[in-house]
Amino acid sequence: MSVPSFGVGTFRLTGQAVIDSVRNALDLGYRAVDTAQIYGNEADVGQAIAKAGVKRDELFVTTKIWTANYAAGKLVPSLRESLDKLRTDYVDLTLIHWPAPGNGVALPEYMAALAEAKALGLTRQIGVSNFNIALTKQALDAVGKGEIATNQIELSPYLQNHKLAAFLKEQGIAVTSYMTLAYGKVLKDPVLAQIANKHRATVAQVALAWALQLGYAVIPSSTRRENLASNLLARDLKLDADDMAQIAALERNGREVSPEGLAPAWD
């Protein structure tokens, strides 16, 4: 996989909350951190990373370009600003945050600008987020096969995205799952609770282990150190075929995020 399988997310966290979360995560052994321009926390994340004292080449930092910065003359300057906030000369991965089909910037234009950012050494890898199959194909046409490291998509036991995930696997594009716990909704699921009891694990660990076993990367977030530590243990949880079959049956197309004007027509 071209992206780490386990990282810490920072969505909805700002100020001291995100500083503490990232600092705790790095202290516990996380080495991948996911942020975005629109989160408004890149400077806080940069501060936390600087204070953690982990060598830069041991970290994997991801950010995402916001829609207002997609134009050819804006994307690279906006990424330079992100680097300043993050206190680094480069990020490991930069994503287009949403396809935003109606925002006036054509996909080939922003993908070319993203490729330029990579050519300039501002980012080691590039990718997309929230792209459907048709748009991922267009992105591949724009930058070339093998250039898109990941498509970061909402994916949980309630939204399993089989068709898109299968397409991405065929193309050699890593799947990064966000909202893997469906805003906490899966934590109350009786089937997952039963599986968790069987393995003496938490429901969150079961959901994360399910995604990991399917070959997806995960980026759960938490403001609590104990939850960050607990989530990390999902890497060691091995679900059996019966567990995986039971979770597969939980599919309900339970999408949590689909902002108008930003989201594509979902597969």
| Whether the predicted pLDDT of 102 surpasses 90 | no
Are 40 and 250 spatial neighbours (Cβ–Cβ below 8 Å)?
no
The pLDDT-based confidence of 130 (bands split at 50, 70, 90) is: very high
For 224-249, write each residue's pLDDT tens digit. 999 999 999 999 999 999 999 999 99
The pTM of this model reads: 0.97
Mean pLDDT over 43-70 rounds to 98
Asked if residue 195 has pLDDT above 60, the reply is yes
Catalytic entry in 30, 39, 110, 216? 39
216 is an active site residue: no
Whether residue 2 is predicted with pLDDT greater than 70 in this model: the reply is yes
pLDDT at 107 (0 to 100): 98
The structural domains of the chain, ordered by start, are 8-182+215-221 (3.20.20.100)
Residue 90: partners with Cβ closer than 8 Å, 6 or more residues away: 83, 121, 122, 123, 124
Known binding-site residues for substrate equal 97
Question: Any idea which of 43-47, 52-56, 100-104 has the lowest mean pLDDT?
Answer: 100-104
Please report, in range form, the residues annotated as the binding site. 97
- Residue 136: enclosing H or E segment and its boundaries? helix 133-143
pLDDT at 1: 53
Give the strand pairing for 217-218 and 32-34: unpaired
